[in-house]
Amino acid sequence: MRLLSVLYDRGAARLVRVWRRSLHFRVVSVTLVSSTLLVVTFSWLLASQITASQVGSKLNEAQNQLEQGRVYLEPQFRDRGEAADPGVNGFLRYATALLVPPTSTAPKDAAQNDKAASVPYYVLLEPTNPDFLKAVKPQSPQLEDTRAVQKAVPDDLRRTVKETRKSAYQYVRANPDSQGERPFIVVGTMVNTAMGEFSLYYLYPLDEQVSSASSVRTTVFVTGLALVLLLALLSALITHLVVGPVRIAARTAQRLSAGLLDQRMEVRGEDDLAALATSFNQMAANLQRQINRLEEMSRLQRRFTSDVSHELRTPLTTVRMAADMLFANREDFDPLAARSAELLQAELDRFEDLLTDLLEISRYDAGFAVLDTEAVDLVPIVTRVVERLRPLADRAQVELRTVVPDEPVIAEVDPRRIERVLRNLVGNAVEHGEARPVVVTLADGEGSAAVTVRDHGIGLNTGEDKLVFNRFWRADPSRARQTGGTGLGLSISLEDARLHGGWLEAWGAPGLGAQFRLTVPLRAGDRLLSSPLPLVPADAEPQLGPIPPDEPTRGVRHAS
């Protein structure tokens, strides 16, 4: 039973998967089910109507024959004597005990009346008073056969006929002739004579109607099954004609998305599908031209950025030498010239940082960036970055806090790039911390290590957690460029994280500050599944309320 249950579950899951993924299967299935229901309903109605028509026709025939029998029998008793009369005795033996098929040996007068019957039937004449038959001496060998006929007439019909004094009918299954039980229709009425009341019953077999109904049902079933199969075949063929080009278009689109820009659909005919293929090919050609154009522009831009950065190195070196000399001798200048030398030195530092970042971005754009990984302890790296930025934090009146584990956190990373990422994150937190504490936390677990940088400054608006990684993006466009770095720090940090196979994510809320999280695998090349630190800080959750399921922290374990 367990094996059958497992096989059933697998079959159901596979069927659901095919239903969801295959338009062809859905169309054929819906057509097959709907056509089956339609054909079954129509077949049932048709078979019921035909059977009802045949049985109704037989009922009308039986009722007409019953009325003719009643009209025939009533005059037969007028000129008869008492029941002991030999003529009456012989007639009653015939009337109460006679099997009357067309081939019977009944008296001529009765046989003449029964010629209208198309099939053998049975006649039963019963007196209302049972004592009436005492004078009858049953000597006919056919009298014994009437017992089965009398037994075939249901008592309910007898009561109905006697109580209503009208003709009635009923369907029964009986065996009046030892040929096996089969369906009959029994009609009965009252016959009033000078010798008393009699009940007259006719029993008509429905063998022909049953056989005809069975034949109709078989024919309708076979025809319906053939029609359902034909509809399924037609729907499969038509769906294939429609879905085939759509599948080809889907495969072609997948190849285009994979970078095979020369892929095209084959155009056949002049119908709507051919127009779809032609439009698709035109779209693909336009996309190829645009992508090639953008790639060429991007290549020229990267080359321009790289060339300009390199070309600026030489004059920058010369200007740097002159600026260093002026800066070193600024005490000999008047205050205005000394201040100019200090500003020149500061702007040259910013310019040099910008050139360095531009060169780094150009390496990433060109795909030349490579990792120089080694197994290092992340604790000293985090501590070193914080200590180097502590003077900057002191000037901004920001308290820097560090939370690191007591044990080493060994990870296979490029220490230079990791240190650059942390330096950018901590520097931004200090800049936007608004003289409030900044907390740097390091943790590891489940094959990954994470560093979070939490500030309590102005925070981020909705949607800005993705924009902060764009190049040259600023939260406040009106803010002067004299604050902040080059505008490329977080973009380079994101590329550094991706190069490690890690994550760099941001969270923020207005008035609640922001938190950035860097997660990298402990072993180079491993795939990240979770982070040991939450993206949303614990001190912000009570103010935010329950975190919805699609929050970035889904699948991330909270540190204990």
Please choose, from the candidates 368, 357, 367, the residue with its C-alpha nearest in 3D space to the C-alpha of residue 472: 357
Predicted TM-score of the model (pTM): 0.45
Residue 551's pLDDT is what? 40
Q: How far apart are CA 90 and CA 93, in angstroms?
A: 5
320-327 long-range Cβ contacts below 8 angstroms, 24+ apart: 320/348, 320/352, 323/348
Q: Residue 220: its pLDDT value, please? A: 81
Residue type at 285? A
Those residues with Cβ within 8 angstroms of residue 519's Cβ, 6 or more apart along the chain or in another chain:
448, 449, 450, 497, 502, 503, 504, 505, 528, 531, 532, 533
User: Given this model, what pLDDT does residue 545 score?
Assistant: 53
For tokens 């981020």, name the residue.
Answer: 460
Spacing of C-alpha 469 from chain mean position: 36
Task: Check if the beta carbon of residue 281 is closer than 8 Å to that of residue 252.
Answer: no
Ranges of H-type helices in 77-85: none
Task: Give the pLDDT confidence score for residue 473 in this predicted structure.
Answer: 72
The CB density around residue 57, as the number of other CB atoms within 10 Å, is 11
Fold category of 370-544 in CATH = Heat Shock Protein 90 (3.30.565)
Residue among 173, 183, 215 at smallest CA distance from 51 = 215
End-to-end CA distance of the chain: 45
pLDDT at 231: 80
Place of tokens 């979070």: 452
Q: Collapse the DSSP code of 100 into the 3-class scheme (helix H, G, I; strand E, B; otherwise coil) and give the result.
A: strand
Q: Which residues of the chain have pLDDT under 50?
A: 83-84, 93-94, 96-119, 134-144, 478-483, 546-560
Going by C-beta distance under 8 Å and a sequence separation of 6 or more, which residues neighbour residue 490? 424, 428, 468, 469
Per CATH, the number for 81-211 is 3.30.450
397: number of Cβ within 10 Å: 11
β-strand 400-403 against 438-445: which pairing, if any? parallel
- The CATH class given to the 272-364 domain equals mainly alpha
Residue 476 has phi, psi (to 5 degrees) of: -120, 100
Domains 81-211 and 272-364 share a fold: no
User: Domain-by-domain residue ranges, the chain?
Assistant: 81-211, 272-364, 370-544
* CA 50 to chain CA centroid, nearest Å: 43
Per-residue pLDDT, 549: 43
For residue 517, the model assigns a pLDDT of 94
